[in-house]
Amino acid sequence: MIKPVSQLKIGVVGIPGKWSTEVLADEIEAKTGFRCVIDIEKVVADLATPTVTYNGQCLCELDAIIIKKISQTYSPMVLDRLEILRFVESCGVKVYSKPCEIIRLVDRMSCTISLARAKIPMPKTVITEDIDAALQAVKEFGEVILKPLFSTKARGMQVISAEQSDKKMMKELQEFYDIHKFFYIQQKLKLPGHDMGLVFLGGEYQGAYARVANGDSWNTTIHSGGKYAEVKPSEEIIEMAHKAQAQFDLAYTTVDIAETEQGPVCFEVSAFGGFKGAKDGLGLNMAQTYVDYVIKQLQNAQ
């Protein structure tokens, strides 16, 4: 017997008070009458019982959980939080997207290797712990972006140019290494002033928006002053994005792609996917569409 929508209990793991988390919880509440925003930092997992609780609510008794955000910033700690949700999943709760797939994406290394293995075009990239090899990569690429393995919205990223002295480059590389303990070096490409976020739900393409740089920053993120706009990517780019996201079994995601002089390249597949770009750039309420998708998945599984 299919459980009525009004009896479904769907929780949201996110940041209480943040727009994307609350708008998703609003849509769930509008459909089901149930609201549960879960701050993962305050979850208690008792593996012996077994119970996983938050504010008196046993998460193992929910029908589903949608992971909107796991942390304000990415760090290895995020992996441990996802492991707790993987345990909740083992109790029979449907989790969107699957924690094991998100784990593959929050670490930039894992995402990049998966895309490279699938032969998805990306900027030239060197990954190493050797500072001499890192210096050689900067010289070879001319201008690079150093990227932390755990970061969002370009936080912690640093641009280095080969036009400066070896001593200056070595100093900047050493300072980066002292913080991050690893070099992820990507050639800085000339972009047309914007990049694209292609939206996918259940593996199906929904549309694309552009992030347009404000002219004062090398990156296009909204965090750095960029703005959203509608964009119509070519079939080639849509196919590239489709192939990229297909490497991961995600319920909802956005794929970041930019057009360059060498052709389109993929920067990353998002672990969570945003709603703001689709709303402001395309006029799409993807939070509502996502909730409808999850409810349909739950009913089909009954």
Domains of the chain with CATH codes: 5-96+287-301 (3.40.50.20), 125-187 (3.30.1490.20), 190-271 (3.30.470.20)
- What's the pLDDT at 84? 96
Q: Which two tokens stand for residue 197?
A: 């976020």
- What's the pLDDT at 214? 67
Question: Residue 296: what residue type?
Answer: K
Distance CA 244, CA 116 (A): 10
Distance CA 56, CA 255 (A): 37
As to burial, measured by CB atoms within 10 angstroms (0-12 exposed, 13-18 middle, 19+ buried), residue 48 is exposed
DSSP label at 2? P
pTM: 0.91
Q: How many CB atoms lie within 10 A of CB 198?
A: 25
Ranges of the chain with pLDDT below 70: 1, 214-225
Query: What interhelical angle do 99-106 and 77-90 show, nearest 10?
Result: 170
154: left (phi over 0), alpha (psi -120 to 50) or beta: left
- What's the pLDDT at 218? 44
- What's the pLDDT at 71? 86
